[in-house]
Amino acid sequence: MEAKIRLYVDQPLGAGQAVALSQDQAHYLTGVMRLGEGAAILLFNGRDGEWRATLAQAGKRNAIAVCDAQTRPLHLPPDLWLLFAPIKKARTDFIVEKAVELGAARILPVQTRHTNSERIRQDRLQAHAVEAAEQCGATFVPEVADLQPLDRLLRTWPEDRALIWCDEASASAPPSPPRGGGMGWGGSGLPTAPAAILIGPEGGFSADEAATLRSRPNVTPLSLGPRILRADTAAVAALTLWQAACGDWR
């Protein structure tokens, strides 16, 4: 029987390993998808690759799957982080979902001067990351960090990790050669991994924040074209550009 349903589990996976599924997963498999004992599913845990498993016990509250064989090894995404200022709930969820699909290795919400949301539910966003990985076939689930101030994050920023700053102010400026190693639309020279992409809030970066970013030697400003993009669109565009130029799409 072909296995089509993928589930994330936080348990070891290996040949003959019995895996107790959560109550929600048991209900989904038996009550929603109508699977019974003997049905095949796919399991992954972000460490041991993807495994085909057989339901040995299938109840609406309890289910146990036994691993048969590995279907895919663990595939780690490039060492690329996404930093973004949270926006409205549904659009923040969208950013996390697309970051997983596009191969971000870590997702860090940051608080800026003009960030609209002062708090997030880190556990809920992590659950969205898990669901996205289940749907897109990923074998790795990136960590969604808790919200932290941008200035604090910059103070402890690793010297060996490039920071690609998506500068919305450059969208309306006349075309000019990239300054300080920056990359304009259609240009080249994006930093390779380890790297991170920074997407600002809907209100843009403050003058102080922009000045701090310009002063840092490991920051590369990036224009995303002649139009100012919404934050969620900018995240998708920037991740796509980096993956096509430096990531695992080539």
Q: What percent of the chain has pLDDT over 70?
A: 92
Q: What was the pLDDT predicted at 122?
A: 96
CB atoms within 10 A of CB 156: 7
Q: What was the pLDDT predicted at 180?
A: 43
Could you tell me if residue 242 is left (phi over 0), alpha (psi between -120 and 50 degrees) or otherwise beta? alpha
CATH assignment of 80-246? 3.40.1280.10
Structural domain spans, the chain: 6-72, 80-246
pLDDT higher for 173 or 48?
48
Q: What was the pLDDT predicted at 230?
A: 93
Q: Is the pLDDT of residue 12 over 90?
A: yes
Helix or strand (DSSP H, E) at 107:
strand 106-111
The predicted-structure confidence for 40-86, as pLDDT tens digits, reads as follows: 999 999 999 999 999 999 998 999 999 999 999 999 999 999 999 99
**Lowest-confidence pick of 50-54, 202-206, 208-212:** 202-206
Cβ atoms of 220 and 181 within 8 Å: the answer is: yes
CA distances from 242 to 38, 62, 139 (A): 43, 43, 21
At 133, list the tokens.
């990985």
At 191, list the tokens.
């930093």
* Average predicted confidence (pLDDT) for the chain: 91
CA distances from 246 to 140, 174, 217 (A): 19, 27, 20
Average pLDDT of the segment spanning 228-246: 95
Using a cut of 0.85, tell me whether the model's pTM lies above it.
yes
Q: What was the pLDDT predicted at 38?
A: 95
Average pLDDT of the segment spanning 146-167: 95
Q: What was the pLDDT predicted at 68?
A: 97
Q: Is the pLDDT of residue 117 over 80?
A: no
Q: What was the pLDDT predicted at 109?
A: 97
At 15, list the tokens.
């040949």
Q: Which residues face 219 on adjacent strands? A: 163
**Pairwise CA distance, residues 84 & 235, whole Å:** 8
Residue 183 DSSP class: B
CA atoms within 13 A on the CB side of 149: 5
**Lowest-confidence pick of 82-96, 185-199, 214-228:** 185-199
Amino acid at site 227: R
**Pairwise CA distance, residues 154 & 187, whole Å:** 26
**Pairwise CA distance, residues 178 & 185, whole Å:** 10
> Confidence band (pLDDT; 50, 70, 90) for 250?
confident
The CATH class that applies to domain 6-72 reads: mainly beta
**Pairwise CA distance, residues 80 & 16, whole Å:** 34
CA atoms within 13 A on the CB side of 195: 22
Q: Is the pLDDT of residue 177 over 90?
A: no
Q: What was the pLDDT predicted at 48?
A: 98
Q: What was the pLDDT predicted at 119?
A: 83
Amino acid at site 45: N
**Pairwise CA distance, residues 226 & 41, whole Å:** 46
